[in-house]
Amino acid sequence: MSEHPPFESGALADKLLAAEVFSELLVAADPDQLGESFAQQVRELTGAHTVMLIANATSAAPHRVLGVCPERRAGLFAGFELDLLCRGGGGRRSYRTEDIPAGSPLGILLRRAQVRSLMRFPLETANELLGWLVLLDLPEWERIYEIATMVGMILPVSALALRSSLAHEQIKEQAREFATQTRDFELQVASRVAELVTENSELAADRVAALRRIEDAVAARRRAERLTAALQREVEERRRVEDELRRFKLDLEVRVAGRTAELEAANRELEAFVYSVSHDLRAPLRAIDGFSYVVAEDAEGRLTDADREHLQRVRAAAQRMGTLIDELLAFSRASRQQPLSEDVDMVELVGAVVDELRRVDPERRVDVVVAPRLHARADPSLLRRILENLIGNAWKFTSHHDEARITVGAVEVGGERAYFVRDDGAGFDAGAARHLFGAFQRYHSPDEFDGDGIGLAIVHRLVGRHGGRVWAESAVEQGATFYFTLGPSPAAS
């Protein structure tokens, strides 16, 4: 590192002349082209490998390169490295990299960039530092004083040219900012004009809308007056209707009370009739059955086969009549009994019904399958009678098969829980299903299967007492499935 002593005139006339010409060229140069041509001309004048023109850092911007020759060396130093390159040591300096300590920041920087030597000249006017002229890799270190003298001759005019270029650049930047501000202002003016036009249009539209609202208000007031008058007439009519309804309600209550009394009397008469049927009719039937049996026993030797058959048919008819009376009584009681609401274990209930059937008919081979954990909310006694009739029918209509299967379970139908009893017995035509739930309705003849046709009518009546419904699906010799629901909760009708 060395300071440059004053240079005295000698054999450098040609170089000095070139420096004077270069100075004249700088004064006449275009400020926009200074950075591009300056570095190239200095390189030709000094013979340095690389020449950099660097603008000094300001409060608004860091050091920045204005021109580099050759251009491929433009990215040699980063921004913070330019700061180290320009500010380290201050003033005009010249360095040989080999003389700088290897651990110093400048030494590290120059060795990384593979720079052997460096000369740095400040460009300043009126004590204002504008930038730096940096020469890298000088051809002959012994000629640094000659080079320093030549560069020193062009420094003042170079500083002026740099100042002119920076001022021109600042003016262009201000012009760009002014143009940007002008465009923004024009856009703001145009936007404001559009807003004013829109506001004027909105004001006009508001005025028209206000006039329409006034007209609508006037029309609404007239309609309100008409509606008020109509409402007054409707209120008067409503009062009249309410008076009539009160009179009708009083009359209806009187009629209901009378009808209730009539129904109670009819129920009492029906109970009396049921009592008469259960007692008065049973006695003659027992007499017919009993005396027929006595005649058959006492006149055993004198009766022909035809006589005995006639007496047997008389007894069978009397017994069937007794059974029909019992079923009618059960059907009548099903219409009057009020159902309870309890949780019923249907698995246990079905087991009890099936056990009774097996006890009466132990020879039958019937496989009964019940869905596990099957429960229902119903009246236990009424639900047992429902199952007795449905399972009893399944047991009866599978009797012509050597082996049979009966299934009891539950499915979801239309959002409600439906219980079912399914068999693989004789079945019936699906078209006849809707007629099966009437009293004394039969699909099969008595010769095929015994029965009185009252069981499904009782099932229909008991399911209805629970607020449910019952239906059947079947095909001839394909078995039958009877479904029934118990409603959301048992309800009395």
Report whether pLDDT(2) > 70.
no
Q: What is the pLDDT of residue 350?
A: 93
Question: CB under 8 Å, gap of 24 or more: what pairs does 433-439 form?
Answer: 433/471, 433/472, 433/473, 433/474, 436/472, 437/470, 439/331
CATH at 470? 3.30.565.10
Cβ–Cβ < 8 Å for 25, 43: no
Q: What is the pLDDT of residue 354?
A: 92
Rounded to whole angstroms, the Cα distance separating 203 from 209 reads: 9
Q: Which residue has the higher pLDDT, 445 or 273?
A: 273
Cβ–Cβ < 8 Å for 384, 348: no
Q: What is the pLDDT of residue 437?
A: 67
Q: What is the pLDDT confidence band of residue 8, given thresholds at 50, 70 and 90? A: very low
Report whether pLDDT(18) > 60.
no
- Report the percentage of the chain scoring pLDDT > 90: 10
Residue 69 falls within a domain, yes or no?
Answer: yes
For 471, how many CA atoms within 13 A lie in the half-sphere containing its CB? 7
Q: Are strands 50-55 and 64-69 parallel, antiparallel or unpaired?
A: antiparallel
Q: Which of 124, 147, 180 is the last residue of a domain?
A: 180
Rounded to whole angstroms, the Cα distance separating 131 from 124 reads: 7
Q: Which domain holds residue 379?
A: 339-485
Residue 212 falls within a domain, yes or no?
Answer: no
What sign does the dihedral 423-429-431-435 (CA atoms) show?
negative
Report whether pLDDT(491) > 50.
no
Q: What is the pLDDT confidence band of residue 10, given thresholds at 50, 70 and 90? A: very low
Classify 64 in phi/psi space as left (phi over 0), alpha (psi -120 to 50) or beta: beta
CATH at 75? 3.30.450.40
Q: What is the pLDDT of residue 407?
A: 93
Find residue 335's DSSP bridge partners.
none
Which of 192-196, 263-267, 347-351, 484-488 has the highest average model confidence (pLDDT)? 347-351
Residue 208 falls within a domain, yes or no?
Answer: no
Is 121 exposed, middle or buried (CB count within 10 Å of its CB: 0-12, 13-18, 19+)?
buried
Q: What is the pLDDT of residue 292?
A: 77
Of the candidate ranges 71-80, 115-124, 175-184, 470-479, the one whose mean pLDDT is the lowest: 71-80
Cβ–Cβ < 8 Å for 112, 77: no
Residue 425 falls within a domain, yes or no?
Answer: yes
Of 317, 332, 343, the closest CA to residue 269 belongs to 332
Residue 268 falls within a domain, yes or no?
Answer: no
Q: Which of 128, 159, 180 is the last residue of a domain?
A: 180
Query: Count of domains in the chain?
Result: 2
Rounded to the nearest 10 degrees, the angle between the axes of helix 144-276 and helix 13-28 is 40
Residue 386 falls within a domain, yes or no?
Answer: yes
Report whether pLDDT(463) > 50.
yes
130-144 as b/e, with b when 16 or more CB fall inside 10 Å?
bbbbbbbebeeeeeb
Q: Which of 180, 195, 210 is the last residue of a domain?
A: 180
Residue 479 falls within a domain, yes or no?
Answer: yes
Report whether pLDDT(35) > 90.
no
Question: CB under 8 Å, gap of 24 or more: what pairs does 36-40 form?
Answer: 36/67, 37/67, 38/66, 38/67, 38/158, 38/161, 39/67, 39/68, 39/69, 40/67, 40/69
Q: What is the pLDDT confidence band of residue 334, given thresholds at 50, 70 and 90? A: low
Residues found in the chain: 493
Q: What is the pLDDT of residue 410?
A: 94
Q: What is the pLDDT confidence band of residue 370, given thresholds at 50, 70 and 90? A: very high
Q: What is the pLDDT of residue 150?
A: 82
Q: What is the pLDDT of residue 331?
A: 57
Cβ–Cβ < 8 Å for 339, 378: yes
Look up residue 441 and give its DSSP letter.
-
Q: What is the pLDDT of residue 369?
A: 93
Residue 399 falls within a domain, yes or no?
Answer: yes
For 404, how many CA atoms within 13 A lie in the half-sphere containing its CB? 28
pLDDT tens across 276-290, in order? Answer: 666 666 677 777 877
What's the mean pLDDT in 459-487? 87
Report whether pLDDT(31) > 70.
no
Question: Does pTM surpass 0.75?
Answer: no
pLDDT tens across 385-418, in order? Answer: 889 889 988 888 888 888 899 999 999 988 889 9
- Report the percentage of the chain scoring pLDDT > 70: 79
| Average pLDDT taken over every residue of the chain | 79
